């Protein structure tokens, strides 16, 4: 019966085999570009997953108030594919470096919008002398965790930069350069939304003047028409009995 893989160095020494010193590099990302399997996330069943290369998703002046950066630019995926965590980290570095050089570190907030949750596998083969006597070929070919990637859809936002109106062209150029780190095709869009909020610039100004929006750091909270009336009258307590009495007297 053949021994299980991977083989330890002690096993190789006992059987008179030697391990090759020239180690191969990382498998190219083109091997994992297409979504052909189900999502395979890290779990109690899928253990030993290496940490993703990207650990920071927000750079720049990330604590800036929502009113500081009204303009926003998006890098949007135009393909159904998988993007490795190494590519996400390379794109983040490229966009961040370009924005710091052209605008300054206090005039933008960059956010990576996708996370590499999908675990990639590799069926490692022995590369030592005499390995052909020990390998099992395609028997038990379910691989071991090798890395992580993000599964993206057509039209999904990959990266976003919020900045000031006069620096939109700088953000477009930064995202264009970041797109070179990704496989496939991407498009850069200048959004009509106010920063990272869900309101357009016209809606944001309108609802702010009416006191319907409350700043919550990077985004805003929407005050609906439901709830206590005091919330819509500057925090004052409204005495409904007094209003009804005054209306009856009139």
Helix (H, G, I), strand (E, B) or coil at 59: strand
pTM of this structure: 0.80
Rounded to the nearest integer, the mean pLDDT of the chain is 87
**Which is nearest to 129 in space by CA: 7, 21, 19?**
19
Q: How far apart are CA 154 and CA 35, in angstroms?
A: 12
Average pLDDT over residues 124-133: 73
Average pLDDT over residues 34-49: 95
Burial label, 45 (beta-carbon count in 10 A; 0-12, 13-18, 19+)? exposed
Q: How far apart are the first and last CA of the chain?
A: 100
Provide the edge-to-edge strand list for the sheet that holds 144-152. 81-84, 144-152, 118-122
Q: How far apart are CA 148 and CA 32, in angstroms?
A: 10
Read off the pLDDT band of 64 (50, 70, 90). Answer: very high
DSSP 14: H
Higher pLDDT among residues 156 and 8, named by residue? 156
Does residue 2 register a pLDDT over 50?
Answer: no
Bridge-based pairing state of the strands 71-77 and 157-163: antiparallel
């Amino acid at each position: 019966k053949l021994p299980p893989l991977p083989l330890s160095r002690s096993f190789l020494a006992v059987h008179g085999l030697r391990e090759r010193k020239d180690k191969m590099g990382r498998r190219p990302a083109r091997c994992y570009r297409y979504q052909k399997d189900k999502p395979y996330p890290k779990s109690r069943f899928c253990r030993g997953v290496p940490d993703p290369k990207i650990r920071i998703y927000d750079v720049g002046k990330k604590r800036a108030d929502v009113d500081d950066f009204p303009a926003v630019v998006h890098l949007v995926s135009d393909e159904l594919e998988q993007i490795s965590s190494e590519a996400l980290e390379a794109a983040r570095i490229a966009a961040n470096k370009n924005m710091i050089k052209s605008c300054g570190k206090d005039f933008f907030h960059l956010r990576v919008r996708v996370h590499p949750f999908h675990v990639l596998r590799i069926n490692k083969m022995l590369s030592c002398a005499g390995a052909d006597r020990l390998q099992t070929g395609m028997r038990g070919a379910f691989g071991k965790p090798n890395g992580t990637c993000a599964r993206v859809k057509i039209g999904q936002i990959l990266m976003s930069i919020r900045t000031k109106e006069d620096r939109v062209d700088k953000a477009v150029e930064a995202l264009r350069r970041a797109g070179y780190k990704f496989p496939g095709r991407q498009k850069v869009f200048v959004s009509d939304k106010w920063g990272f909020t869900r309101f357009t610039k016209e809606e944001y100004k309108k609802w702010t003047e009416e006191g319907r929006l409350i700043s919550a750091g990077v985004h805003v909270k929407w005050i609906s028409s439901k709830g206590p009336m005091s919330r819509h009258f500057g925090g004052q307590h409204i005495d409904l009995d007094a209003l009804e009495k005054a209306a009856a007297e009139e």
